[in-house]
């Protein structure tokens, strides 16, 4: 019994000594890991904030894009810090990096459409084919831009509805921006009779445009004969107006053109249809 007790005491003592050695050995690793985590976290925040401020001061860079790059840089630094801390404990970091790469590839394949929208969102924010408050149309999506995000663009349609369009649908198609230029052209065409005075009609259209303060003096408004139809001669007024006045000017000009020509005795002909009773019965025309 005494020998067994001595053996138990010796085994216990050896275990305590080994535990003490391990505690001393790993104490520095744990302390170093804590220091690395704290310093890495602080460094990631500092670099992220520095990157955000630097990118924000670049001309033409959207705030959303600056925050995206700053946050992405922060997360990359945090991942590097965690991998370094694991290396302090003897973990094979090469296998961890390989696993992260494989996981990133799998996530990229699974979120291919989402990543495509992110890439398109970055290009839209960098090249800025449209901005908040501008009216755009790409053939399938139209409206006033409310917000340009990394995944989708929010718009308000002409009838007041809310619309969200994935960025990839806006990046891969031609876009017409109706608000980018300060002025915009418009044309008003109307038919007059063959017996009417064409020169008088053209002068009347020019005078009408020049009398409207919303019509730009440069480029000058112009009037011309557009087409000669079977029952009328089409005359056209072409003028420029500011973007904010374009809609109201175009609506008013259509009404005023008709009223002014009628006041001056111009006829507004309608298509003539000649009834052929023989053709109507199916006989030879």
Cβ neighbors of 260 (< 8 A, separation 6 or more) are 204, 208
Distance between CA atoms of 115 and 111, rounded to whole angstroms?
A: 6
pLDDT in tens, 69-118: 777 777 778 777 777 776 666 656 666 666 666 666 665 555 555 778 88
The alpha carbon torsion through 96, 100, 102, 103 (nearest 10 deg) reads: 130
Percent of the residues in the chain that have a pLDDT greater than 70, as a whole number = 69
Query: What is the per-residue pLDDT for 279?
Result: 47
Query: Which residues in the chain are classed under CATH 3.30.70.100?
Result: 183-263
DSSP 3-state of 29 = helix
Query: Which residues in the chain are classed under CATH 2.30.30.60?
Result: 130-177
pLDDT in tens, 129-153: 888 889 999 988 899 999 888 788 9
Query: Which residues in the chain are classed under CATH 1.10.287.1260?
Result: 2-110
Tell me whether strands 135-137 and 152-156 are parallel, antiparallel or unpaired: unpaired
Which CATH fold topology does 2-110 show?
A: Helix Hairpins (1.10.287)
Query: What is the per-residue pLDDT for 73?
Result: 77
Which CATH fold topology does 130-177 show?
A: SH3 type barrels. (2.30.30)
pLDDT > 70? residue 284: no
pLDDT in tens, 24-76: 555 556 666 777 777 777 887 887 788 777 767 766 666 666 777 777 777 77
Domain 183-263 has CATH 3.40.50.300: no
Distance between CA atoms of 205 and 116, rounded to whole angstroms?
A: 51
């Amino acid at each position: 019994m005494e020998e067994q007790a001595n053996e138990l005491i010796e085994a216990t003592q050896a275990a305590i000594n080994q535990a003490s050695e391990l505690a001393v050995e790993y104490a520095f690793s744990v302390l170093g890991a804590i220091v690395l985590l704290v310093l890495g976290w602080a460094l990631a925040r500092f670099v992220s904030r520095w990157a955000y401020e630097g990118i924000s001061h670049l001309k033409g860079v959207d705030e959303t894009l600056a925050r995206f790059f700053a946050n992405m840089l922060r997360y990359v630094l945090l991942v590097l810090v965690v991998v370094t801390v694991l290396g302090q404990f003897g973990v094979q970091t090469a296998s961890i990096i390989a696993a992260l790469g494989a996981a990133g590839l799998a996530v990229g394949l699974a979120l291919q459409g989402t990543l495509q929208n992110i890439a398109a969102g970055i290009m839209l924010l960098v090249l800025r084919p449209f901005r908040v408050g501008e009216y755009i149309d790409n053939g399938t999506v139209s409206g006033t831009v409310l917000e340009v995000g990394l995944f989708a663009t929010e718009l308000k349609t002409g009838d007041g509805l809310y619309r969200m369009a994935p960025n990839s649908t806006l990046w891969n198609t031609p876009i017409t921006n109706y608000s980018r230029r300060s002025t915009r052209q418009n044309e008003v065409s109307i038919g007059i009779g063959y017996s009417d005075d064409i020169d008088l009609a053209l002068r009347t259209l020019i005078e009408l445009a020049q009398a409207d303060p919303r019509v730009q003096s440069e480029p000058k408004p112009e009037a011309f004969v557009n087409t000669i139809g079977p029952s009328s001669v089409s005359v056209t007024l072409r003028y420029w107006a500011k973007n904010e006045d374009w809609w109201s000017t175009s609506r008013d000009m259509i009404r005023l053109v008709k009223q002014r020509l009628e006041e001056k005795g111009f006829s507004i002909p309608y298509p003539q249809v000649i009834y052929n009773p023989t053709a109507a019965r199916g006989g030879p025309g």
